[in-house]
Amino acid sequence: MMHEAEFLIVGAGIVGLTLARELLEQGADKITIMEKEAGLGFHASGRNSGVLHAGIYYPSHTLKAQLCLKGNLLLQEYCMQKGLPLLKAGKVIVARNQNELPTLLHLHDQAKENGAKVELIDEIQLASIEPNAKTFQKALYSHYTAMVDNKAILHSLYQDLIQTQRVTFLFNAELKKMKNEFIAQSSQGEIRFKQFINTAGAYADKVAHLFNVGKEYYFIPFKGIYQKLKSEKSHLVNGNIYPVPNLENPFLGVHFTRNIHGDVYVGPTAIPAFGRENYGILQGIDRELVNIIKNEIILYCSNPLFRRVAHEEPKKYIAKYFYRDAKRLVKELQPNWLTRATKVGIRPQLINIRDKKLMMDFLVVQERHSVHVLNAISPAFTSSMAFAKYIVQMYIKS
């Protein structure tokens, strides 16, 4: 028998789940969420740093600026309502030298413009917040940055959705192709729908291409590897210690984050990966490898920013370079205080084929009965609840 749905959502990551929640609030009656894995959190939403960002890094005209802080506050409220872990520890961004001070001041002004609660602090104030952090003259303190348990949030949203009895989850159901405009073929049979929502994360470009949408975009995967501070040293970090980033680069640089269990993670890296799910050395490498390498070579030759990332980031596979980046942020750190963490994430970065540029903002594309969330990169976890409201308001006709 064919499965029928008013809305078919492909991908049960944070973006798919929060969109389903928002659709229910707007009166949707029959939603199906199709997920190729056996459960929740197998990919980005279950493998991230668990940081609720606070609207600092994004130029004010961007969707990220518009949605990050709103999303942060909505998720904080959700965690408090549901009794989920929430650590409101804030974050400091530290300057490594004089050259980074103009960017630090720029971040301060931009964050204010975005409504974030930030302040420039001196080295004495920094020592009272993060005694082990070091900076050159000034640092930026963000009050609203917080840490959450990302998997607990996914499971809580799942329970909320199931309880309404208006949402059906199909696990182990991979979207294979479109039979026609209103029928999707999955590994578990056909699904007829009225509206289709693509929240397939690292595969969102491929799903969009099934609809002839977003043909000018493809993803390049970057691997995020973490190290962990030995537990007897975790008292050296209270919250988050981040470097001043290169604002042209989509990644924030290796940083320290104390998670809700008190463990301090250092990372992640952003190393070009060999597959969209290439979490281990060989795991997740498939036929696409040749294409990924070809696209990386094209980008390497045409985009100076990608070239810089490709030179700088792979070094962090080597413990010495990873340590060097981490040590710049703190007064005390020994190489043997860091151990390789099992957590690895893949950050899919959307590239525009035409101009070979890395897409820095969220991107949503609509085509008649389908909506495609094409670039749900960081801080999409933080922004998700606000992003869902935005997508429903702007793109979904009831």
Give the separation between CA 54 and CA 77, rounded to whole angstroms: 14
> Do 374 and 11 touch, CB atoms closer than 8 A?
no
Cβ closer to ligand FAD: 199 or 238? 199
Cβ 183 to ligand FAD shortest distance, Å: 15
Q: What is the DSSP letter of 359?
A: P
Cβ 59 to ligand FAD shortest distance, Å: 18
Which residue's Cβ lies closest to ligand FAD? 13
Q: What is the DSSP letter of 356?
A: T
Cβ closer to ligand FAD: 76 or 125? 76
> Do 90 and 129 touch, CB atoms closer than 8 A?
yes
Choose the binding region for ligand FAD from 48-56, 107-115, 292-300, 331-339 (rule: CB under 6 A): 48-56
Contact call for residue 193 and ligand FAD (CB under 6 A): no
Give the separation between CA 48 and CA 150, rounded to whole angstroms: 8
- Total Cβ atoms within 10 A of residue 109: 11
Cβ closer to ligand FAD: 74 or 138? 74
> Do 254 and 243 touch, CB atoms closer than 8 A?
yes
Q: Which residues pair with 197 in a beta bridge?
A: 9, 371
Binding residues for ligand FAD restricted to 128-187, rule: CB under 6 A: 174-175
Contact call for residue 239 and ligand FAD (CB under 6 A): no
Give the separation between CA 107 and CA 205, rounded to whole angstroms: 31
Contact call for residue 382 and ligand FAD (CB under 6 A): yes
Choose the binding region for ligand FAD from 29-37, 59-67, 241-249, 308-316 (rule: CB under 6 A): 29-37
Q: Which residues pair with 167 in a beta bridge?
A: 31
**CA 58, chain centre distance (Å):** 14
Q: Which residue, 253, 359, 252, is CA-closest to 303?
A: 359
Cβ 365 to ligand FAD shortest distance, Å: 14
Q: Where are the alpha helices (DSSP H) in the chain?
A: 14-25, 63-82, 101-113, 123-129, 150-163, 204-210, 289-302, 304-312, 319-327, 380-395
By CB under 6 A, the count of residues binding ligand FAD is 41
Answer for which of 161, 237, 271, 380 binds ligand FAD (CB under 6 A) is 380
Sign of the Cα pseudo-torsion (147, 57, 321, 224, in order): positive
Choose the binding region for ligand FAD from 202-210, 324-332, 353-361, 389-397 (rule: CB under 6 A): 202-210
Answer for which of 16, 239, 253, 272 binds ligand FAD (CB under 6 A) is 16
Cβ closer to ligand FAD: 68 or 330? 68
Binding residues for ligand FAD restricted to 258-287, rule: CB under 6 A: 268
Please enumerate in sequence order all residues whose Cβ is within 8 A of that of 392, keeping only pairs 6 or more positions apart, or say none. Answer: 19, 22, 23, 26
Cβ 151 to ligand FAD shortest distance, Å: 11
Answer for which of 5, 8, 34, 94 binds ligand FAD (CB under 6 A) is 34
Q: Tokens 């005694």, residue?
A: 131
> Do 346 and 35 touch, CB atoms closer than 8 A?
no
Task: Annotate each residue in 207-226 with x if it binds ligand FAD (CB under 6 A) or - if it does not, as one string.
Answer: x----------------x--
Choose the binding region for ligand FAD from 98-106, 110-118, 138-146, 193-201 (rule: CB under 6 A): 193-201
Q: Which residue, 280, 345, 269, 282, is CA-closest to 309?
A: 269
- Total Cβ atoms within 10 A of residue 367: 14
Cβ closer to ligand FAD: 11 or 140? 11
Contact call for residue 47 and ligand FAD (CB under 6 A): yes
Binding residues for ligand FAD restricted to 291-350, rule: CB under 6 A: 345-347
Contact call for residue 11 and ligand FAD (CB under 6 A): yes
State the residues that interact with ligand FAD by CB under 6 A. Answer: 10-16, 34-37, 42-45, 47-51, 53, 174-175, 199-203, 207, 224, 268, 345-347, 376-382
